[in-house]
Amino acid sequence: MPTRRELLALTSGAAVTAATGLSAPAAASAQQGDDDWTVPGWIATWAAAPTTVPPNPPSAPTVLANQTVRHVVHCSAGGDELRIRITNEFGQGPLRLGAVRVALRQGDGASSAIVPGSDRRVTFGNRAEVTIPAGSPLLSDPVRLRVPPGSDLAISLYLPARTPATTLAAFAFQDNVIADGDVTAARTVTPVATIGQYLFLSGVAVRDRGAAIVTLGDSITNGANTQNNLNHRWPDLLGARLRAAGLRRGIANVGISGNRLLHDPNPAPGSDAESFAAYFGHSALRRFDRDVIAQPGAEYLIVLLGVNDLGHPGTVAPASEVVSADDLIGGHRQLIARAHAAGIVALGGTILPFKGDTLGFYTEANERKREVLNRWIRSGGEYDGVIDFDRAMGDPADPQRLNPAYDSGDHLHPNDDGMAAMAAAVPLRVFK
């Protein structure tokens, strides 16, 4: 039986089939089942795409010295071993880690306590204390720990020397804590600060039969405007649907708030955007290899990008960066081609409606571009399958507006119910 990579190489330009809504490679993969995964391999179960920090952030930058930062991460897939990815990719100097430990998180919500007996030391090349060069990531050795699907991990990093947090995921929608001293092994810690970011931590993989789904997007994928500590991002809720259906699929959510398909952050000198635009991250075209192709076990990609390319020029980016629908289609084509070259099934998500948004994104011209892009995603036959978020989220009385039942209040970002509707719009047959 041909592998998914072989099927994609043979039929990557096929049209979407009427019967399934999937192109030939994706439909064949759906029929193929899990024959490719009879031997456990590494699959991503959690991810956070790193960015750098702005030169003049609205609050003082986080600096750790003789302190532990304990992160809580929500795993999609489970396994009997795990590996952790730490990153110093935007560091100006070496990153020294005095200790790293991982455990199952006890409780829910904002709890950072760990399950007794689950604490494990994390090593890197058999060393517990390591230094990561500037600009580099570091993968841990395998750690023996049974991780149930849908469980939470507490991952603790001890920073013994003065360390500015220059590499981070700025919007975690999860309370993480900083405590004094090396308390990486402590069951509970006494926080000196609570942060809504992931510092230096960018991925967790587990050893299991299955595959990983990478969700590449902006703030809507990242989880903007959902309630903290509840894991109500639509990729998390999709993960719950997959587990309920018995599908062993990990999810690597690499959505970045403010992210664009075609452009890096470019705030006007002297504007307020200088204090936050760096958090928007490199363009999807630029970060694709790191955030998608490098994810362990990546077999599927869901793309939801374009609204910031439409809305940022003239608001938080120069008007000279205005894009056309053809520009966006060209960018999406590049993502498809690069995914197919790596043997990854590419699924396109249509752009949600945003008429009347409070961010100043909506114009009649931007609406026309959105409709052209969505029409191409739906019927162009270049994506292997389509997830029609637009139709799932539109107001029945005015499809150019977000459904009021799903509106977080800014008429662009969904609320928690909207995130559930987005997760429900994803056809699970794609991943069978």
Q: What percent of the chain has pLDDT over 90?
A: 88
Query: Could you read off the pLDDT of 152-201 as tens digits, one per residue?
Result: 999 999 999 999 999 999 999 999 999 999 999 999 999 999 999 999 99
pLDDT band at 39 (very low <50, low <70, confident <90, very high): low
Do 425 and 324 lie in one domain? The reply is yes
The enclosing domain of 303 has a CATH number of 3.40.50.1110
Within-domain flag for 89 = yes
Within-domain flag for 166 = yes
Within-domain flag for 51 = no
Do 199 and 216 lie in one domain? The reply is no
Do 286 and 406 lie in one domain? The reply is yes
Count of domains for the chain: 2
Residue 111 to residue 105: CA distance in whole angstroms: 8
Q: What are the C-alpha distances in Å from 193 to residues 96, 201, 227?
A: 21, 18, 20
Within-domain flag for 49 = no
Do 197 and 230 lie in one domain? The reply is no
Query: Could you read off the pLDDT of 243-278 as tens digits, one per residue?
Result: 999 999 999 999 999 999 999 999 988 899 999 999
Are 372 and 317 spatial neighbours (Cβ–Cβ below 8 Å)? no
Do 156 and 285 lie in one domain? The reply is no
Please tell me the predicted confidence (pLDDT) of residue 152: 98
Within-domain flag for 38 = no
Do 96 and 125 lie in one domain? The reply is yes
- Classify residue 43 as left (phi > 0), alpha (psi -120 to 50) or beta: beta
Within-domain flag for 216 = yes
pLDDT beyond 70 at 30: no
Do 373 and 264 lie in one domain? The reply is yes
Nearest CA among 130, 120, 121, 125 for reference residue 200:
130
Please tell me the predicted confidence (pLDDT) of residue 19: 29
Nearest CA among 282, 300, 302 for reference residue 290:
282
pLDDT beyond 80 at 145: yes
Do 267 and 309 lie in one domain? The reply is yes
Please tell me the predicted confidence (pLDDT) of residue 245: 97
Nearest CA among 405, 299, 421 for reference residue 41:
299
Query: Could you read off the pLDDT of 306-335 as tens digits, one per residue?
Result: 999 999 999 999 999 999 999 999 999 999
Last residue of one domain, picked from the residues 176, 203, 230? 203
Do 388 and 406 lie in one domain? The reply is yes
Q: Is the dihedral of CA 33, 38, 44, 46 positive or negative?
A: positive
Do 271 and 312 lie in one domain? The reply is yes
Query: Could you read off the pLDDT of 80-121 as tens digits, one per residue?
Result: 999 999 999 999 999 999 999 999 999 999 999 999 999 999
Do 232 and 136 lie in one domain? The reply is no
List the domain range (segments joined by +) for residue 107: 57-203
